[in-house]
Structure 1
Amino acid sequence: MGKSAVMSTIASAPESWPWPPIVRASVGWHLLAVGAAVFVPGAAPWAIGAIVLNHVLITAAGLTPRSSLLGPNVTRLPKAAADRREIALTIDDGPDPEVTPRVLDLLDAHGQRATFFCIADCVLAHPALAREIVARGHSIQNHTAQHRHNFSFLGPRGFAAEISRAQQVLEETTGQRPSCFRAPAGLRNPFLAPVLHRLGLLLVSWTRRGFDTRERDAATVLARLTRGLAAGDILLLHDGHAARTAAGRPVVLEVLPPLLARIRADGLRAVTLPEALAA
């Protein structure tokens, strides 16, 4: 199936959301606990404990970026892409006027493609740079409007406002409507999945990450990304909010040259997420 057909299928997805088993079980658990508290003498403390335990489980699922308990979550490329020896290099939190142009030059020099999960407010601040990302063969996807630190605490309306606004800004700026979404830090709650479903967006996390927003040693970041590197992996780096080496250089710029060389040496090819997910 071609990319356009896949996008059409996603866009025409039904409005109703098939709630995941853990969410349906949570509703039943709450009803059972309330019923026990009301009708069973002395059961109230146990019922409260059961509800608290349930909330802890749901919260833990939302705080685990690679979890699929709260809804679909792409953590690896599909088998067809892995069979083609493809990986996805994803770069978050930009565009950044200092770092992103040099990232683009490095990608061009090695003949590889990347997916940039961009913050809409940064795109508004640097629209020409966003258009250059697309013009040079890369993909821009949705990383919310503002990258709010309290994003995982939002409800349905808050999620819809942040994500819809980002969709509009990114499409109007680049001419391409995002099909993938990544939450800030990968954190979320049960209300996110139905909003993404309604907007025709796929939640994408990663296979491995370098923690390059806080790790200043490029060798450590590189080791995290390349340890067990294999076809189908989704790698995470940052052009925005990038940590700096002791010499003051953005870590991503130190990591990319040896990482891209390793990708080529292993017979792998970095492609955009829409390309990898289209089949």
Structure 2
Amino acid sequence: MGKSRSRMSQVLSPSNRESWPWPPVIQASAVVHVAAVGAGLLVPGAWPWAIGALVLNHAVITAAGLTPRSGLLGPNVTRLPAGAAARREIAITIDDGPDPEVTPKVLDMLGAHRQRATFFCIAERVLEHPALAREIVARGHSIQNHTARHRHNFSLLGPRGFAHEISRAQQVLEEVTGQRPTCFRAPAGLRNPFLAPVLHRMGLSLVSWTRRGFDTREGNAQTVLARLTKGLEAGDILLLHDGHAARTPQGQPVILEVLPELLARLQADGLRAVTLPEGLSA
């Protein structure tokens, strides 16, 4: 059983929701703070060194939060577990929708190739397009939590702000689709140490990706496709966007040019795209 499965089981187990097992880097950070303050108070001339240690400590924590695939701040699923990889499964994840222009065409492409995807949806957009959200689920795909509003300052929030954004999205997504999300993705993948305990209490797994196409700013479909398929293998989690998608020189949302070729590549390689709940339950 792969590490991703183990991490997901830890988060979803009700017995583990009572207390948060702080990761080693956070425990070490607490020790550094206590030691720095103690040294500054008790050792003559130690304050410059103590302050330097604190600055370095905060730089490490900040860097971890700015690295979407980092696991230093808590469990972070970046690949499907070994069982899914053995079955030649991958996960296509599509963020920032639903979008009434783009998402229906994405659904048709996926359906034509008999592949499934996971849509990390913004709750406010689901409220604007509830029928489209229900269609995503009705066609065999999964909708997961991508916050209520996709705030640009999400990574700067504290525990209360995280809880409000995520719980509101949980409520909306469950009410509209009838399914309660089990996975969460932060806007742009950015976060701080307060996020993991909130997800833990809500029974949500943080999911990032194995590879991404940067398709919110790259309008060249071949460049995006190359980023997604270079070294592509079973167990990968891929990231695309139906919302906030960059446009090709012809004005087409880039995902609509990338997805057909990506799906053809999966078929040629004998890979099957599954939803995250399917893949992570392996």
Task: Output the TM-score relative to the length of structure 2.
Answer: 0.96
Equivalent of residue 194 in structure 1, options 155, 172, 197? 197
Equivalent of residue 141 in structure 2, options 138, 142, 145? 138
Q: Is the 8 A contact 2:10 2:16 kept in 1?
A: no
Amino acid at match of 2:18: E
4+ runs of 1 displaced by more than 6 Å? Answer: none
1:1-279 maps to which residues of 2 (within 5 A)?
9-279=12-282
Q: Is the 8 A contact 2:102 2:253 kept in 1?
A: yes
Q: Is the 8 A contact 1:13 1:200 kept in 2?
A: no
What stretches of structure 2 of length at least 5 have no aligned partner? 2-8
Q: Distance in 1 between matches of 2:14 and 2:259?
A: 34
What stretches of structure 1 of length at least 5 have no aligned partner? none
Q: Is the 8 A contact 1:143 1:182 kept in 2?
A: yes
> SS at the partner of 1:91?
strand
Q: Is the 8 A contact 1:73 1:205 kept in 2?
A: yes
Instruction: Count matched residues.
Output: 275
How many percent of aligned residue pairs carry the same amino acid? 80
Q: Distance in 1 between matches of 2:116 and 2:253?
A: 20
Q: Distance in 2 between matches of 1:184 and 1:273?
A: 18
Q: Distance in 1 between matches of 2:242 and 2:86?
A: 29
Q: Is the 8 A contact 2:97 2:241 kept in 1?
A: yes
Q: Is the 8 A contact 2:183 2:206 kept in 1?
A: yes
Encode CA deviations 1:171-191: one digit per residue, 9 max, x unaligned.
Answer: 000000000000000000000
- Please state how far the C-alpha of 1:15 moved relative to its aligned partner: 1.5
- Please state how far the C-alpha of 1:278 moved relative to its aligned partner: 1.1
- Please state how far the C-alpha of 1:8 moved relative to its aligned partner: 10
Structure 1 residues 241 and 31: alpha-carbon distance in aligned structure 2, compared to 1, 3 A threshold = same
Encode CA deviations 1:197-239: one digit per residue, 9 max, x unaligned.
Answer: 0000000000000000000100000000000100000000000
- Please state how far the C-alpha of 1:13 moved relative to its aligned partner: 3.2
